Chains A and B, each alone.
Chain A
């Protein structure tokens, strides 16, 4: 255990705040991403696709996906 001296409380609180900020931001982007993917999937399930995906489907109806890949957006 590291000896932090008489102001250990201030040091530990600072590191706790930093951990909270880093974890909070990470959770925010991860949960937001999941929620957005779910919403996008729900829209695609209703037959709503982006213009580029519809154009791709028209050009190659045998091979093109009916909905755009969320990762590539293609």
Chain B
């Protein structure tokens, strides 16, 4: 099935209906495997067992940016190609991205208190991630405020693209500024600096979280298509009643 064929919401619904149960099963298996690997992983020589927070904090932080990346591509789809599913994809990703961003902030704070001695510091990485969270909330509010879906889609797409400037700021904030947050230790020139004993469970949890994001996003897109169909039917009924 090509991308053009998927532009048809009915075909997309059929495909999503077939994929979601499989993806949900794969996600559950990946989480089970990931959690076993986390339980067996060694303590860090400095952080002790607190390193176990990293196995959920890091994937949550990655996915907070991945979800926004999906929204940015979808925003291009809305503005440039006027793809019928582009706004559906962006709108469905926003609550999921917001939740993962909140999880990254919460778990980061819970790691920061014992390791840094503080729950929060207004440093570049933490502040830019907080800005990302506020942008997610702003976009959700924007979609809810404008009733006409076409107008809401265009306004949201522009705001998403403006906000995407924050993604490289988050990624490179630890290099550009002197921050409390440690620099990149997985996706960096020269390869990861983490020992394989910790890199493997981290990778497994990242895969599990990514599968969860994919499953939830497909399910939320399916819901969004149904919501728009219901709205259209409601408008038809209201028009006929006049």
Contact = CB atoms under 8 A, between A and B. Distances in A.
Contacts, number: 112
Given A10-B110, A18-B60, A29-B219, A73 B9 contact: yes
B82 interface: no
B14 A7 contact: no
A43 B60 CA distance: 39
A60 B237 CA distance: 24
B130 interface: no
Interface residues of A, number: 40
Interface string A1-29: 01111111011011101100110111011
Contacts of B53: 10-11, 14
A58 interface: no
Contacts of B111: 10, 14
Contact of B237 (A7, A39, A43): A43
Contact of A36 (B113, B216, B223): B223
Contact of B223 (A4, A24, A33, A73): A33
Contacts of B107: 14, 17-18
B39 interface: yes
B114 A14 contact: no
7 tightest A-B CB contacts, nearest first: A73-B10, A29-B219, A36-B226, A5-B49, A7-B114, A18-B56, A14-B107
17 contacts: A2-B49, A14-B53, A14-B57, A14-B107, A14-B110, A14-B111, A18-B56, A21-B102, A29-B219, A29-B223, A33-B223, A40-B230, A43-B230, A43-B237, A48-B233, A49-B233, A73-B9
